[in-house]
Amino acid sequence: MRFRRPLNLGTSVVLALALTAASTALVVLSLYELHMGLVAPMLAGLFGLVLAAVYLHTHIVAPVVRLARSVRRPSDEPDGDPVPTRVPREIASLALAFSDLAADVAHWRQRTIDLAYNLKGRINGQAAQIARELHQSRREAWTDPLTGLGNRRMLDEKLPVLFETQRRNGRDLSVVMLDMDHFKMLNDARGHAAGDELLEFTGQLLRQCVRYEDLAVRLGGDEFLLVLVGVTADQARAIADRTVRLFAQQARLLDVAPRPTMSAGIASLADHDAAHPAALLRMADRALYEAKRAGKSRAVVHGARSAPVRAGGPAEGNVGL
């Protein structure tokens, strides 16, 4: 804003009051003269009153109204209606002060918006980093370091959810309990390095048996578990037979007697009507016991028997560490 020859507010008020008083006197005189039949003086008095009103509106009321408008909407109308150039000095100073204040408010408002945007970006970035670290920590907490399979902690967290989901949706869920035969003899004869090598191979083999929604778990030592979603007991038996056979092919490469083999026990939600996950696991464990008692190197479904899987049977593919 630019103001030329600012007037003193007191001077403006005095002038306005003087004009008003003079106009009022003229009106009174005009009324008297009207009574006396003189019209011209009356018109002069009314004209003076109009001039006083125009002066008050132009030099006092209008600047204050425009100043109030600029104060109410400093961001929406930063360059709105200017205060008239010839205004009382006090109003001009007040207008300049409010103009500076409006500019400061707009500046800090923009800085606040920029700060909020930057802060939001940093928070989102940090939240994403934390989420990645938590995901990685959970994967590490759920993973057996030697075989790369899930561990018992993962099983305890995921199996109840899978069990309830499949039962609620009327779909099947099969579990395959696996255990190596003669594994201790391998450790005693060839050392733990040979045993760890066979465990690593078993992890690779079992990962090939499962899909994304399934679970492959090392329960501990040489005991493993497959949780197969939407798979029947017969389908799980076919997967177990193939796993036992491929494991036997790899074990043939070991210079140890007796060579390690693998036994499996199978149970399913649909065929065995387990009330809860623990009951399903117990059924698979009993089937595994039946497989070992029947001569090892075989897969048995809970409540049924299976013919042994011959270690020298036909190969279904090249398997190596």
Beta-sheet pairing, 261-268 with 173-181: antiparallel
Per-residue pLDDT at 321 exceeds 50: no
Of the pLDDT bands very low, low, confident and very high (cuts 50, 70, 90), residue 1 is: very low
* Predicted confidence (pLDDT) per residue in 58-73, tens digit: 666 666 666 666 655 5
Residue 294, classified by CB atoms within 10 Å of its CB into exposed (0-12), middle (13-18) or buried (19+), is middle
The lowest-confidence range among 25-39, 183-197, 292-306 is 25-39
Per-residue pLDDT averaged across 75-83, rounded? 51
Q: How many residues does the chain have?
A: 321
Kindly state the DSSP code that residue 302 receives in the 8-state scheme: T
219, 185, 224: which is closest to 201 by C-alpha? 224
For the stretch 118-163, pLDDT in tens is: 888 888 877 877 777 676 666 668 899 999 999 999 999 999 999 9
pLDDT at residue 17 in the model: 62
Mean pLDDT of 310-320: 37
Per-residue pLDDT tens digits for 227-284: 999 999 999 999 999 999 999 998 888 888 888 999 999 999 999 889 999 999 999 9
The residue-averaged pLDDT of 39-62 equals 64
What pLDDT, on the 0 to 100 scale, is given for residue 318?
A: 32
Supply 9's token pair.
């507010």
- pLDDT of 214 over the 90 cut: yes
- Say if residue 315's pLDDT is above 50: no
Model confidence pLDDT, tens digit, residues 163-186: 999 999 999 999 999 999 989 888
Q: Identify the band that residue 4 occupies on the pLDDT scale cut at 50, 70 and 90.
A: very low
Category of 274 on φ-ψ map: left (φ > 0), alpha (ψ -120 to 50) or beta: beta
**How far is the C-alpha of 31 from the C-alpha of 37, rounded, in Å?**
9
pLDDT at 275: 92
- Planar angle of CA 187, 152, 294, nearest 5 degrees: 55
Please, are residues 265 and 290 in contact by the beta-carbon 8 Å criterion? yes
CA distance 37 to 56: 31
Percent of the chain with pLDDT over 70: 63
Q: Tell whether the model's pLDDT for residue 297 goes beyond 90.
A: yes
Q: Please compute the mean of the pLDDT values over residues 195-207 and round it to a whole number.
A: 93
Q: Are 274 and 160 in contact (CB under 8 A)?
A: no
Max mean pLDDT among 7-21, 94-108, 270-284 falls in: 270-284
φ/ψ of residue 259, rounded to 5: -70, 145
Residue 320: pLDDT above 50?
no
Residue 162, phi then psi, degrees to nearest 5: -60, -40
State what percent of residues in the chain have pLDDT above 90: 41
- Is residue 33 scored above 70 in pLDDT? no
Q: Does pLDDT of 8 surpass 60? A: no
DSSP secondary-structure letter at 321?
Answer: -
- Confidence bin at 189 (pLDDT 50/70/90): confident
